[in-house]
Amino acid sequence: MKKILLHSCCAPCSGAVLERLATDFRITIYYYNPNIDTPLEFMRRAEELEKLTKLGIDFDVVTEEYRPDEYNAAVRGLESLGEGSQRCYECYKLRLGKTADYAARHGYDFFTTTLSVSPHKKVAWIHEIGRELERATGVRYLDEDFKKRDGYRRSLELSRTLKLYRQNYCGCKYSKAEAERRSQPMPSTTHANCNAHKP
């Protein structure tokens, strides 16, 4: 079986992806997320991955140290931009870059990421970065959009079944502030944009 390194942003986004990959690959989850706003939140999301063993799928987990400086350097000058902006492009690039590098150094056949499960992420950017890294490292990038073929619905279902902690913001302190602003009551003449779980 081919070996795949699966970058994981959190447990809720990872369950359905594990199910999809398990028949074709030997999977290692790679938890590298220096974008997360606090060490506590970083650990909480990391520990939640343990619950995915209940799926009965064999996988290993590699957890990288929490190094927020790496994220801060990657998005310097872009902090005030909103979600879905160039800030997020640089954030994807940092996390995928580290994943591809680890995959190349440890003899993986493929790498990919759970980021595409979220409807709030820009899949075209994720694939563009992944293909560029494939050319640079020689490790194949699996360019799946994991929300498709019912992937997003299944991820929600598994989150409920496995009682996973589901954060209501993407990860960085900027996305947390945006989520808090969104949760403020809106004037009665307008409609709030429902934008809850943002893995």
Q: Least distance to ligand SF4 from the beta carbon of 31, Å?
A: 14
* Listed residue (114, 24, 20) closest to 61, CA to CA: 114
Q: Is 93 in the site for ligand SF4 (CB under 6 A)?
A: no
Select from 21, 96, 172, 179 the one that contacts ligand SF4 (CB under 6 A). Answer: 172
Contact (CB, 8 A) for 3 and 28: yes
Binding characters for ligand SF4, 175-194, by CB under 6 A (x = yes)? x-------------------
Select from 83, 132, 143, 145 the one that contacts ligand SF4 (CB under 6 A). Answer: 83
Q: Is 170 in the site for ligand SF4 (CB under 6 A)?
A: yes
Q: Is 130 in the site for ligand SF4 (CB under 6 A)?
A: no
Q: How many residues bind ligand SF4 (CB under 6 A)?
A: 10
Residues that bind ligand SF4 (CB under 6 A): 35, 83, 87-88, 91, 170-172, 174-175
